[in-house]
Structure 1
Amino acid sequence: MGVLTGKTALVTGASRGIGRGIAERLGRDGARVAVHYGREETAAKQTVAAIEAAGGSAFPLGVELGTPGDAERLWTEFDRHADGLDILVHNAGIGTARPFTEINEEEYDRLFAVNVKAPFFLTRLGAERLRDGGRVVAISSGLSRTAAMPDLMAYSMTKAALDVFTRDLSKVLGPRGITVNSVAPGIVDTDVNAPWLRTSDEAWRRAAGYSALGRVGTPADIADVVAFLVSQDGRWVTGHWLDATGGSLT
């Protein structure tokens, strides 16, 4: 039996990349996983299939975040499959790389709607479903605390806001034995980063050079950190921002 046997987990943005890595790891640890996706239904079903092929249990959950009523719709759909929740992982997010002088209000509002507003209201409306002793983990970014990268300003601002949310939420949910933490990846080899990360050997070497360990991160690197926080071993860690950049901030 896995360490999460009998637990139910929801991972947002779990159809690919870091989210898929987290969903698959929690599935291997025994949790039943709600694999949330926004638009990529086929990819989400592939994640579910991978979890089931490894002996786990999972189901897809399709709701586009950043739209009016998104939290209500997600929980309505979730309730059709499960009667409670033990682990909530806020992984879904969008980014932009645009100069300060070019980003417009629509793009700015969209970033905050998906990256900040959705996790806030998903948690607020889902708190009654979250069992005592549960876990909440938000996937932040090393960019919220590292050297300035102006073209990623708005994105970094959303992650800093998410960090404050998780820190303060730990005090709100703490009396119920629920831990709340942020995990901050650095550069990770995902399809989102592939367009620039894999443009050349030099781009890859430069990215690997940011890490003290001399390599680019993988989704499994982040998933394993999340797995620790949501397990019994992570019971005494809450309100914490965990640097999972591979030493990129040192």
Structure 2
Amino acid sequence: MSRIALITGGNRGLGRATAQALADDGDDVVVTYRSHPEEAAEVVADLEARGRRALALPLDVTDHASFPAFAETLTRELGDRWGRSDLDVLVNNGGFEGTTPFGGIEAATVDALYAVHVRGPILLTDLLAPRIRDGGRVVFVSSGLTRYAANPLFSVYAAMKGAIEVYTKYAAKALGPRRITVNVLAPGATATDIGGGMIRDDERYRAMITANHAFGRVGEPDDIGGALRAITAESAGWITAQRIEASGGQML
């Protein structure tokens, strides 16, 4: 029986690369999206072309009041499409960077960062935990910025990711009796559309960052997808409560 993975924010960037990596490993995938349903449809078509079953569902992780209805829809779709009611893998990936310059930090931005990177993943995981099979996998996506202090514009973003790294340890302890591993993956600088695609598209900025990389380049989405595939693999069942950085040796 194929595993089923749920990936939030799976319509683009790291979420899309993760969906592809897990599909190539034989997993069926449910991706969520907040906007751009056409991107989510493209992901589903791509995964199906790889021979896997896939589904896209809308979800706004800032709207926690909608989570129970989402869970009901997910359970119904799992039953209709897969003949089961549980998941094997949950990847909390959805997010945005939200700049917060010192001297000009806006409360609305702080609240939005908290809603997306802390409150949403915690409440969604808490709600879906009974629907994750024993021996399953949960991953929270953090950032290399929790280890190294870079541009102060991302101070609050990094702080929120730090909070979810702490929560990971407690979730791992709570779900340990069910043999569900809970880990956090911290990507380094990666060429996605986050920050307006600055790392991906600005050659000067990318050169500045790669000067501090052991590998001499920034990451690509497939690098992160591969890392997530590794820590959610069946063979990774003895790894839990860990922060795993996938950064190509950034800022060593």
* 1:27 and 1:58 in contact (8 A); partners too: no
- Using the size of structure 1 for normalisation, the TM-score is 0.94
- The correspondence of residues 46-195 of structure 1 with structure 2, limited to 5 A, is 46-82=42-78, 83-193=85-195, 195=197
Cα deviation for residue 88 of structure 1 reads 0.2
Counterpart of 1:226, as a letter, is L
Q: Matched residues in 2 for 1:30 and 1:199: separation?
A: 32
* 1:70 and 1:118 in contact (8 A); partners too: no
Counterpart of 1:32, as a letter, is D
The 4+ residue runs of structure 1 with deviation greater than 6 A are: none
What's 2:245 paired with?
243
Q: Matched residues in 2 for 1:200 and 1:137: separation?
A: 30
> Is residue 30 from structure 1 mapped to residue 26 from structure 2 by the alignment?
yes
Q: Matched residues in 2 for 1:142 and 1:66: separation?
A: 23
Provide structure 2 residue ranges, at least 5 long, that are not aligned to the other structure: 79-84
Cα deviation for residue 136 of structure 1 reads 0.3
- Alignment partner of 1:13 out of 6, 9, 14: 9
Cα deviation for residue 198 of structure 1 reads 4.7
Q: Matched residues in 2 for 1:233 and 1:123: separation?
A: 22
* 1:142 and 1:249 in contact (8 A); partners too: no
Counterpart of 2:62, as a letter, is G
Q: Matched residues in 1 for 2:190 and 2:103: separation?
A: 28
% identical aligned pairs: 37
- Using the size of structure 2 for normalisation, the TM-score is 0.93
Counterpart of 1:57, as a letter, is R
Q: Matched residues in 1 for 2:87 and 2:102: separation?
A: 40
Q: Matched residues in 2 for 1:198 and 1:191: separation?
A: 7
Q: Matched residues in 2 for 1:77 and 1:108: separation?
A: 30
* Per-residue Cα deviation, 1:60-86 (whole angstroms, up to 9, x for no partner): 010111124132232122112111111
What's 1:225 paired with?
227
* Per-residue Cα deviation, 1:140-182 (whole angstroms, up to 9, x for no partner): 0000121253211110011001101111111100110000000
Q: Number of paired residues?
A: 246
Counterpart of 1:96, as a letter, is G
Counterpart of 2:214, as a letter, is A
> Is residue 39 from structure 1 mapped to residue 31 from structure 2 by the alignment?
no
Indicate the RMSD between aligned Cα atoms, in angstroms.
1.4
Change (3 A) 1:111 1:176: same
Q: Secondary structure at the match of 2:5?
A: strand
* 1:71 and 1:118 in contact (8 A); partners too: no
Counterpart of 2:160, as a letter, is T
* 2:192 and 2:200 in contact (8 A); partners too: no
Cα deviation for residue 23 of structure 1 reads 0.7
Indicate the structure with greater helix content. 2
Q: Matched residues in 1 for 2:196 and 2:143: separation?
A: 17
